[in-house]
Structure 1
Amino acid sequence: MSEREQQEAVAAVERAMVAIRRSQSRRSLGRLAPPDGGPAVDPTLFGVLDTVEDRDGACSVTDVATALGVDQPRASRLVMRAVDEGWVARAADPADARRTLLGLTRAGREQVDRTHRFRRQVFARAMEGWPDADRTEFARLVTAFVASLGRVAGGADGAPGRS
């Protein structure tokens, strides 16, 4: 592949990533009603749930702020909204009583599972008609790309912040 073709490929990836980011906006996701008729979750708030799920019991507000790329006060407000919804519970850290750890409640786990199912249905619809080999290859490539991007961008968990 020539240098020009490589540059064009990178430019195509950049354009695709911008398009993905735009398609994941609150407004666009809000237009996609969950098939079970339940209310859609604010994607920003779901970022809190994603982060707490990823940290599996060892998550702090600071971890949420870092994962979402927001400041501590904004993360605290988002966590409080998730607590108010009944999706996240706070508990004292047994190793450091000054620190609060976050965990998913039963309702939070149900919301996470429901939202994962919904997003997977959307992605499956987007790939309808793709040959199985293309789906598999795309999954491999996009997963590798996200891991590499996380390393380049300095993500603590190998992935750039979720949204």
Structure 2
Amino acid sequence: MKIKKVYLENFRGYKGKTVIESDSLTAFIGKNDIGKSTILEGLDIFFHEGKNVIKIDKNDSCVDNESELFIIGVCFEDFPEEIIVDSTVSTSLKDEFLLNKDKLLEIRKDFKNGKVVERCIVANYPKESSIRELHSENISSLKTRLQSLKLEVEDNRKSSLMRKKY
């Protein structure tokens, strides 16, 4: 996988949401104390959650903002086309509706008081009410849905196969 975008929100000197695009070669050039190292330190915090070189500090949220919450997000491209879920079933992030509106894998982490308070995938999930809750349904509910539509699946013990059919 390759990083396509990084965004920082309310992190140190970055008050609003700041998006940093990445290409095949990315360089940070600027005056001293302008925030170049903050971007790299934000990536270290994102990937290691403060357990590596850069530690999360309760004072990492921007001093110009009243919120103690700060957000670091990373968007990836060139991710594997196929992934394995349900132990042996091959699917894709696209088929599982886990890509954002730009068809990138976007992972966001929210931090507060020196700790991760939320991790999530930002996805462009379908808005149709009939399929909106597919990922949160258990296997029994998925089976009932398929039976009501008279649809059959090769293995009704694997939720990813049932979601694909639906």
* TM-score bracket for this pair, using the shorter chain length: under 0.3
Greater C-alpha Rg: 2
**TM-score, normalising length: structure 2:** 0.22
Say which structure is richer in strand.
2
